[in-house]
A and B are shown apart, each in its own frame.
Chain A
């Protein structure tokens, strides 16, 4: 009882300052827009954005679903490939040596720059290009973090597996993968926001309408600035959703592996 109250008080104490700060910042913003007579095409006030968000909630959510779906597919496929590629690189050193320059160049290329090329490859009517862009963006951090994790195996565990005459796959499954797991989830957390950002920005380069990126550009070009900002708010929420989900998963796994 007592502890619960303390926990509640603690939560209030940690949550209160940012909430107060956030509300104050929004009020200051609103006041500045009104007092300084800032035009909506430069910066609409938060009340207008909120109004537009509420009025177009269904459209915003529909946009979030489209972009979120692309980001999620990219995240899953990119993460899966990143993990698999890292396992292969860790098991077969030669493949690491050959793969390293390729992965390094992927990590240097601004991946969204590939979007226009991919649209011509897969057709402008398909979402495929966006999913591939998101997948590539995800692949890089997942690959590097997983590979790092796979190299953290303690020598005593390696000796143990050898003493058991464990096959390479058995050693990977029983020791290497569990050791690497926390690192994989760190990579996934980083990748989760990248997936949303890449899927959204890829929409700016073409493809079907309906996603958040396209909606932002079309409302802005039709001078509907409040609505454009409402879609931006939707993008922020989508990014937060992905990030929180990945973070929660990471916390869950690290608690379990820490015993």
Chain B
């Protein structure tokens, strides 16, 4: 059904065409972080990027967010150049580090993008309250980040990324620092949020079960140089009907072992550092 909406004339959420990114070191040594990567993400689609450390997942996400520019190739977001999409605020982003402003309260942090883009005070308050409720931090609205656990800070960062109801969410290992229980709860929450907002998501992770649980498609990457090795359609059902019991599902385990094989199978050296939980 996702493909239908893409075929319905709307531009893809993300269109990465033949993108390479070469970092040049100080002594002329260069690292090819991405080599000829192409990827299309449909509106409302959830795509995970998985692969060992250093395979260019963060680099790809930063390129889509126009926090960095490709050495070659083109990136379009909702049919616009990435730069224009950033200026138009077409995406929300959550980094691996929560990156909250320590001198602002939880509510103040979530209001930040709204404030920068000129939303009125009352509207900001209301929206922040709504999002705080959504991520289950109602008792902590007036707390400062250093009074919160890592998991709670990360939830604030996610709420902040949702503040302007973006139709594209970019997330770089947002649950990387969380313990397993919090992590699964956050995953359930993210599935619910995506069902409600129908945003497209590009989600970086190195946990296979996480990628399978969340995604419509899992993009498996390999390092040195960073390339897309394979793309696996998971399609474990509509986000709305996906629930906790999915983790026990036969199809879930099948998809997990498929991704694992893709990661380890073809070139074992490329799969170092991957969590096989």
Residues on A close to B: CB < 8 A?
154, 156-157, 159-160, 162-166, 170, 174-175, 178, 256-259
Interface size of B by CB at 8 A reads 24
The 8 Å CB contact of A160, one of B87, B99, B143, B144, is B99
Contacts A165-B86, A165-B89, A174-B112 hold; do A156 and B99 have CB atoms under 8 A apart?
yes
Whether a CB of chain A sits under 8 angstroms from the CB of B78 is no
**Interface pair A178/B67, CB less than 8 Å apart:** no
Contacts A156-B99, A160-B99 hold; do A165 and B87 have CB atoms under 8 A apart?
yes
Q: How far is the CB of A226 from chain B (nearest CB, A)?
A: 51
Contacts A159-B67, A159-B95 hold; do A258 and B112 have CB atoms under 8 A apart?
no
Name the B residues within 8 Å of A259 (CB-CB): 102-103, 143-147
Residues on B close to A: CB < 8 A?
62, 65-67, 86-87, 89, 91, 93, 95, 97, 99, 101-103, 112-113, 116-117, 143-147
Dominant secondary structure of chain A at its interface with chain B: helix
**Interface pair A163/B99, CB less than 8 Å apart:** no
Q: How far is the CB of A184 from chain B (nearest CB, A)?
A: 14
23 A-B pairs with CB atoms under 8 Å apart are A154-B99, A159-B67, A162-B66, A163-B65, A163-B67, A163-B86, A164-B112, A164-B113, A164-B116, A164-B117, A165-B86, A166-B116, A170-B116, A178-B101, A256-B103, A257-B102, A258-B102, A259-B103, A259-B143, A259-B144, A259-B145, A259-B146, A259-B147
Instruction: Return the chain B residue nearest A257 by Cβ.
Output: B103
Dominant secondary structure of chain B at its interface with chain A: loop
- Most chain B CB within 10 A, of A156, A166, A256, is at A156
Q: How far is the CB of A255 from chain B (nearest CB, A)?
A: 11
Query: Besides A259-B102, A259-B144, 12 other CB < 8 A contacts?
Result: A157-B101, A159-B95, A160-B95, A163-B93, A164-B89, A164-B113, A164-B116, A165-B87, A257-B103, A258-B144, A259-B146, A259-B147
Alpha-carbon gap, A165 to B118, bound state (A): 13
Alpha-carbon gap, A208 to B176, bound state (A): 68
Instruction: Return the chain A residue nearest B147 by Cβ.
Output: A259
Q: How far is the CB of B42 from chain A (nearest CB, A)?
A: 22
Q: How far is the CB of B230 from chain A (nearest CB, A)?
A: 29
Contacts A163-B86, A258-B102 hold; do A156 and B95 have CB atoms under 8 A apart?
yes
